[in-house]
């Protein structure tokens, strides 16, 4: 698993500047490097007030998307790494969770506890929160329209992630040292933690 994870990471790094740097729009879509027939769309919602309802809709299958706690995301690239791995494991039928969207949440976590990953990276019970919605193969925009009709919040540009992210929570969860912060960007350290969690 470690070798495949690192391959995914290296392939993503090679095309990162071309695929995801344009984050000034309300919706960003790209294809996966290992699976070019798979399209990933990301949309950021601010001030969401119905987190509990959204979670119920995810659990009953009404929402077919990963709805992520945006405070725990450093950069869209972090999400792409998680999506690539989730899709790969789904095609191999080796997921650790029930759905590919649950697998995305699990892959975002530095640990191997599925429930803890859902609690930290999934939609929260807070009165107001910011969420990142990740959709797969929504070529006609129907899934996004359905999700937008359910989520009570405002769509904002993906670049706003940098203002939303909670760096202290991220540093604590990923156990990032001061020395690591000095030699690399926060998102680089986080992605490395994600990519190597299966190596132990």
How many Å apart are CA 28 and CA 54, to the nearest integer? 21
The domain containing residue 9 runs over which residues? Answer: 2-196
Is the pTM value of this prediction over 0.85?
yes
Nearest to 187 by CA among 198, 176, 179: 176
* Structure confidence at residue 199 as a pLDDT band (50, 70, 90): low
How many domains is the chain partitioned into structurally? 1
12-21, 168-177, 191-200: lowest mean pLDDT where?
A: 12-21
Q: What is the pLDDT of residues 119-133, one digit of tens each?
A: 999 998 888 999 999
DSSP 8-class letter at 122: B
CATH code, domain carrying 142: 3.30.2380.10
CA trace torsion 47, 53, 59, 63 (10° rounding) = -60
Residue-wise pLDDT for 87-121, tens only, equals 999 999 999 999 999 999 999 999 999 999 999 99
């Amino acid at each position: 698993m470690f070798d495949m994870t690192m391959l995914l990471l290296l392939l993503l790094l090679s095309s990162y500047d071309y695929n995801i740097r344009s984050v000034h729009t309300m919706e960003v879509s790209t294809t996966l490097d290992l699976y070019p027939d798979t399209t990933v769309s990301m949309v950021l919602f601010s001030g969401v007030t119905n987190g509990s309802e959204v979670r119920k809709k995810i659990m009953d299958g009404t929402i077919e998307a990963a709805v992520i706690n945006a405070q725990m995301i450093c950069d869209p690239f972090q999400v792409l790494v998680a999506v690539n791995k989730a899709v790969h494991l789904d095609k191999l039928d080796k997921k650790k969770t029930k759905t590919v969207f649950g697998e995305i949440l699990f892959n975002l976590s530095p640990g191997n506890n599925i429930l803890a990953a859902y609690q930290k990276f999934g939609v929260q019970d807070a009165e107001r929160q910011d969420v990142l919605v990740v959709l797969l193969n929504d070529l006609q925009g129907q899934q996004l329209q359905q999700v937008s009709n359910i989520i009570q919040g405002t769509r904002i540009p993906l670049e706003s992630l940098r203002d939303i992210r909670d760096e202290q929570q991220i540093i604590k969860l990923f156990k990032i040292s001061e020395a690591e912060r000095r030699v690399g960007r926060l998102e680089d350290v986080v992605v490395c933690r994600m990519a190597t969690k299966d190596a132990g």
